[in-house]
Amino acid sequence: MSGQTPYYELYRRSSIGMALTDALDDLISEGRIAPQLAMKILSNFDKHVMEVLDAKVRANLTFKGSLDTYRFCDEVWTFLIKNVTFKFQQPGGSVPPVTTDKVKIVSCNSKRPGEQ
């Protein structure tokens, strides 16, 4: 990626990321765009999702549950948590708690090599 900073591809597995990937696959299979353009679009998606979340999200989240499994590989932490309760707080008020049987949290360093 000459001169470009690579971004994590985590949000490609979100519902909007999957929809974008499916749409790009359709365009490639129809011969309407080149695979290289699709990769550039996905790279821009990775960058801009991270920037928008950083700039716009002001809500706070706390959660409580039982840690089932954790891993650290290639500078990425993965946590599997069971019986989780999420509590959201945002400007203007809080939201009722949400519970779930299990959740997977993936955590990556937000700083790139060489950044302070």
Q: What is the pLDDT of residue 2?
A: 44
Residues 41, 66, single domain; the answer is no
What pLDDT is attached to residue 10? 80
Cα(89)–Cα(15) distance, rounded to whole angstroms? 24
Residue 116 is assigned to a structural domain of this protein: no
Which pLDDT value is given to residue 33? Answer: 97
Which pLDDT score is estimated for 92? 77
pLDDT score, position 50: 86
Structural domain of 35 = 10-56
Long-range contacts of 100-105 (CB under 8 A, 24+ apart): 102/68, 103/63, 103/65, 104/78, 104/79, 104/80, 105/77, 105/78, 105/79, 105/81
pLDDT, position 60: 87
Quick check: helix, strand or coil at residue 48?
A: helix
Half-sphere exposure of 74 (CA within 13 A, CB side): 2
Cβ distance 6 to 42 under 8 Å? no
How many domains is the chain built from?
A: 2
Instruction: From first to last of the 116 residues of the chain, give the pLDDT tens digit.
Output: 444 556 778 889 889 999 999 999 999 999 999 999 999 999 999 999 988 988 988 888 899 999 999 999 988 899 999 999 999 887 777 789 999 999 999 888 766 555 65
- Does residue 50 sit in the same domain as residue 65? no
CA 17 from chain centre, in angstroms, equals: 9
Instruction: Choose the final residue of a domain: 20, 41, 56.
Output: 56
Residues 6 or more apart whose Cβ sits within 8 Å of residue 87: 61, 62, 63, 94, 97
Q: Domain check: are 95 and 75 in the same one? A: yes
pLDDT for 76:
87
Residues 26 and 65 in one domain: no
CATH number at 69 reads 2.30.18.10
- Residues 46 and 86 grouped into a single domain: no
